[in-house]
Structure 1
Amino acid sequence: MQMIYVECQLGRSDVDRLFAVALEGITPAVVQVSTQRDATRYTAANLGDLIASLEVANVGSLNGPWPNLALEANEASGTRRVKVAIDVERAEFDLSGSDQTWVFGQAARLQLLLNSVGGSRAFTMENVPYREFLPGRILTVGWGIGAVFVGRVLYPPDPDLGMIIGFGCAVLSMFGLQALRTHYRRRANRPILLVNGEVERGSWWERLGVADRLTFVGAVVAAAGVLAGAAIGVAQITMAK
C-alpha cells in the first residue's frame, strides 16, 4: 500500500514518532535511515547515528530544513516491509506484507499522525484548496448581495447603477482579500522538515511574521476604504442630483 502526503510540517519529535509508528510490528527489523546530500547518500542504522555521521562529514548546518530523509525496514523473515521517503514536497510511504491487517492498521496510524502535522493526502479532494476557497467565496457572495442593496438605497435615481457599483466594489475587494489570505496561509503552512529542531505549532495567523501580519491588516483596511469610498461617491452623486 502506497500513500503520498503533502504539506507536512515535521520537527524532530514528529520524525521520531513517525519512525516509531512505521516500525511497529516489524521485529526483529533490519533498519536503514538515510539522506541524500548533493551526490552523496549517507546511511545509518538509526536517526541519531545518521546525524552523527553528517556532523563528522561536515556537510554544513543540520539545524535548518533538511532536503530529504528516508527510512527502510524489513522484517527478518521478509513478511513485512516499510519504506518512508520525505522531501521538501511530500512524504511517501510504502507498506507491504502478507498480514493485511498490519498493513491497513499501519496506514491508519500513519494517516492520523500526518494529519496532526498539517499533512493531507495528495491527489485527492483532501488536497484541493476548496477548504480555503469555499468559505471566502461564500463571504464574497454575501458581501456582494449586501452591497447590491446598499447601492440601490444610496443611489435611488439609478438603482441599477448603484447596484453595479456596490457589487463590483464588494466582489473585487473580497477576491483580493481572499487571494492575499490564501497566499499567507500557504506561506505559513509550507512543508518543512526539521530533523534537528522543532516546528512551531498554532494557527497560520500565529505563525506569520510581524511584517506579514501588518501587510495583511493593511490590505483589509484598504479594502474597507475602497468600499467606503464607493459608498461616499454614490452618495455624493445622489445629493448632486
Structure 2
Amino acid sequence: MTGAPATTLKNTYIRCRLGRSDLIELFSRATGHVPPEHVTVTTEHNNTCWTARSLPDLISDVTSAPGYDSHVPWDNVQFSAGDSSGELEVLITIQPKTVQVRVTGTNDILVHGQQARIELFLRNRGGAGGGPRPAKSEITMSLLLAAAGLVAATTSMFTGHGGTSDPAPAWTVILMSTLGVALLLTFGVYMYSQRAKLKILEDLPQGSTWSRFTAMEKVTVAGLYVTILGVVGTLASGVSDVLGLFKK
C-alpha cells in the first residue's frame, strides 16, 4: 500500500533578533505534539559538535565543558523534531544573519499549521522573508523618501527659490539641511537597531529602538547626532553666506 505523499515547506528569514528566551520559546513552539525523545538541538562551538534534547541542556553541556572558551563566538544552533509516523518533521537552522525553516510531513494540515506558527513567531522577532515583507518596511521607505525630499528641497534653495536665482535665507537653508540630515541619520539608526542578531547565552532587550541599544551604542548614537548636525549647520551657514555675496 502506498503511503500518503509528503508536503514540504521551506523558507529563509532575515533580520531575526533572537536571544536565549526567544530560542527556547521558538523550539517549544516548533516541537508541537512531537515527543521530547524525538527532539534534538545541535551546535558547533570551538570546533566541537554538541547534541542535546533541549537548548538549556545544550547550553549547560557547552559552557560546562573543560575546553569551553567564552571568547569563541557561539553563532549557530540547529533544531530538529519529528514524530515516528512521519506526519510532521521540523528542521530549523539558525545563524546570525539567517534562519532557515523546513517543515515536512504526510499530514498536510499539521505541516501548514506548524509552518505558519513558526513564521508568525519569527516575524514578531523582526524576521522578514517567506512572503510579503513586514509592514515596518513601508515605514522605513517613507522615512527615506521624506529625507530625500528634504535634501532635494535644500539643494534647490542653495541655487534659488520662488522662480528667481536668489538663494534662500540662511535660516531656511540651515533648518532644511538639519532636518534632512536628521531624518537620514534617524533612518540609519533605525535600520541598525533592526539588524539581525543572535545571542544564545543571553536575552535581547525589547521595546523601542532606543531601548534596544547598549549603553555604549546609546552614547555613540547621541554623539553622532550632535557632531553631524553641528557640521551640517556650519556648512549650510557658510554656503548660504557665500551665495549671499554673489547676490550683492
Mark the runs of 5 or more structure 1 residues left unpaired by the alignment: none
What SS does the aligned partner of 1:141 have? helix
2:198 maps to: 193
Between stretches 79-88 and 126-135, larger displacement belongs to: 126-135
1:59 maps to: 68
1:90 paired to 2:82: no
2:12 maps to: 4
1:203 paired to 2:212: no
Counterparts of 1:129 and 1:196, CA distance in 2: 29
1:76 paired to 2:81: no
Please say if residues 123 and 134 of structure 2, whose CA atoms lie closer than 8 Å, have aligned partners that are also in contact. no
- CA drift of 1:140 comes to 2.3
What SS does the aligned partner of 1:229 have? helix
1:216 pairs with 211, 220, 225, which one? 225
Instruction: Report how many residues are paired.
Output: 234
TM-score normalized by structure 1?
0.78
* Superimposed CA distance per residue, residues 79-100 of structure 1 (whole angstroms, 9 cap, x where no aligned partner): 2100011011111110011222
Counterparts of 2:56 and 2:30, CA distance in 1: 17
Please say if residues 67 and 88 of structure 1, whose CA atoms lie closer than 8 Å, have aligned partners that are also in contact. yes
2:5 maps to: none
1:101 maps to: 109
Mark the runs of 5 or more structure 2 residues left unpaired by the alignment: 1-8
What SS does the aligned partner of 2:64 have? helix
1:46 paired to 2:51: no
Question: How has the CA–CA distance of structure 1 residues 82 and 29 changed in structure 2, closer, same or farther, with 3 Å as cutoff?
Answer: farther
Counterparts of 1:124 and 1:160, CA distance in 2: 46
What SS does the aligned partner of 2:70 have? coil
Between stretches 87-96 and 143-152, larger displacement belongs to: 143-152
C-alpha RMSD of the superposition: 3.7
Please say if residues 144 and 187 of structure 2, whose CA atoms lie closer than 8 Å, have aligned partners that are also in contact. no
Question: How has the CA–CA distance of structure 1 residues 121 and 184 changed in structure 2, closer, same or farther, with 3 Å as cutoff?
Answer: same
- CA drift of 1:152 comes to 3.0
1:14 pairs with 9, 22, 25, which one? 22
